[in-house]
Amino acid sequence: MPFRKLLPLLLLPLLAIGIGANAQAHDYHLHQLHVMHPYARSTVPNQPTGVVYMTIENKGDQADQLISMETPIASSVEMHSMSMDGNVMRMRAIDSLELKPASTTTLKPGDGYHIMLIGLKQPLKAGDKFPLLLRFKKTGEIGVAVWVEQVKAEANGGAMSEHHHH
């Protein structure tokens, strides 16, 4: 059998391993805390800030707090609370994020919490990943890989075309 025809067969197991590793790499465990699917939205060139979302499950019987974060791709990282007051979006920095016992906290677009990357050193491109260190008051630190996902057109007022510049 010619090598050209054999190559796809040789790559299948590697592809399967890669897919499995990526799926596993999206969940992180640190004692009673389970960090799931950390992701950031892609940004446009020269955009100074980025946003990170994830789900944190506290499987323990004691409360904990996310108290700080660090990443080499931004000058600083803050936690923010966002809420809607009628048609006005209100965002404010918070010092810590309370993680109640036996509960799940989801940082997601819209109402609630998110992590702000301030002073981005490079654009966030869909398909890229970057490290983020999460520091918890009781549990300690865990490093996670944040995957950059393409902004959905409907979530961004149809501005997807801006993301195709190279």
**22-42, pLDDT tens digit by residue?**
444 578 999 999 999 999 999
Answer yes or no: are the C-beta atoms of 163 and 151 closer than 8 Å. Answer: yes
Three-class secondary structure assignment of 134-149 = EEECCCEEEEEEEEEE
Check the CA dihedral 149-134-117-122 and report its sign. Answer: negative
At 88, which amino acid appears?
V
Average pLDDT estimate for 36-60: 95
Whole-structure pTM over 0.85, yes or no? no
Q: Where are the domains of the chain?
A: 28-164
List beta partners, residue 41: 149
DSSP β-ladder status, 140-149 and 33-41: parallel
**Domain at 28-164: CATH architecture:** Sandwich (2.60)
* First CA to last CA distance, the chain: 40
% of the chain surpassing 90 pLDDT: 63
DSSP-assigned beta bridge partners for residue 107 = 54
pLDDT of residue 8 exceeding 70: no
pLDDT band at 88 (very low <50, low <70, confident <90, very high): confident
In the chain, alpha helices (H): 3-25
Mean pLDDT over each residue of the chain, to the nearest integer: 81
pLDDT tens figures, 134-165: 999 999 999 999 999 997 754 444 333 333 33
Identify the pLDDT of residue 83.
81
Q: How many helices (H) and strands (E) does the chain have?
A: 1, 11
pLDDT confidence of residue 136: 97
Report d(CA 151, CA 48) in Å as an integer: 16
